[in-house]
Structure 1
Amino acid sequence: MIYHGIRLKAKAGVTQEQIEETLESMRNQGRAIPAVKSFVVGRDFGGDFDCGAVFVIEDLDGYGEYLTHPAHAHTDRVGMPLVEKFDSYDITDDDDPQMGAKIADLHRRRYQSDPELAALVSKQP
């Protein structure tokens, strides 16, 4: 299993309505992307972030599906412009020693196939 986590801190001036739109878009990812086995979206405690999400995905094929799904792209496009900082991480119980490199390759291919998204993400601190 792969547990994909995202933590976000909103820029000053971002409205609660804009944050809620982003959170709802993340919830929609959990509902709309078949590879997502379960998810949680909500407020973040214990750090310098406002909100976040964790998506549980069974394997690398599912992770690739998650990364390239239109629901995920929508969240990036509505949420990233609102973000002062974000953290994205993956935790897995798969003992493949190459798992980190394989996950990184999925991300690399995603950004390579979507230059607009790559530019949007590269602007984030």
Structure 2
Amino acid sequence: MIYHSIRMKATAGVTQEQIEEALESMRNQGRVIPAVKSFVVGRDYGGDFDWGGVFVIEDLDGYWEYLTHPAHAHTDRIGMPLVEKYDSYDITDDDDPQMGAKIADLHRRRYESDPELAALVGMLP
């Protein structure tokens, strides 16, 4: 299993409506992307972040489906401009010593195939 985690802190001046729209878009990802086995989106406690989400995905094929799904792209496009601080990481119980490199390769392929997304990610602090 892959546990994809996102943590974010909103930029000053972002409205509660904007935050709620982005959070609802994240929740929608969990509901509509078939590869997502379970998810949680909500307040982040214990660090310098305001909100976060965890998406549980079975394998690399499912992770690619998650990364390239239109619902995920929508969240990126409305959410990334709202964040001052952002962190994304993956935890897995897979014993493959190359798993980290394989996950990184999926992200690289995604950014190469979507220059607009790559530009948004490049603007994150």
TM-score w.r.t. length of structure 1: 0.99
SS of structure 1 residue aligned to 2:54: strand
TM-superposed CA distance for 1:118, in Å, is 0.1
Structure 1 gaps, min length 5: none
Residue in 2 that maps onto 1:49: 49
Residue in 2 that maps onto 1:59: 59
Q: Deviations over 1:19-51 (max 9, x none)?
A: 000000000000010000000000000000000
Q: Deviations over 1:64-117 (max 9, x none)?
A: 000000000000000000010100000000000000000000000000000000
Number of equivalenced pairs? 125
Which aligned segments of 4 or more residues in structure 1 are displaced greater than 2 angstroms? none
* 1-structure distance, mates of 2:110, 2:26: 18
Q: Which amino acid aligns with 2:53?
A: A
Residue in 1 that maps onto 2:29: 29
* 1-structure distance, mates of 2:44, 2:34: 25
Identity value in percent: 88
Q: Which amino acid aligns with 2:13?
A: G
Alignment of 1:104-119 (within 5 A): 104-119=104-119
Alignment of 1:1-125 (within 5 A): 1-125=1-125
* 2-structure distance, mates of 1:81, 1:10: 9
Q: Which amino acid aligns with 1:114?
A: D
Structure 2 gaps, min length 5: none
Q: Which amino acid aligns with 1:117?
A: L
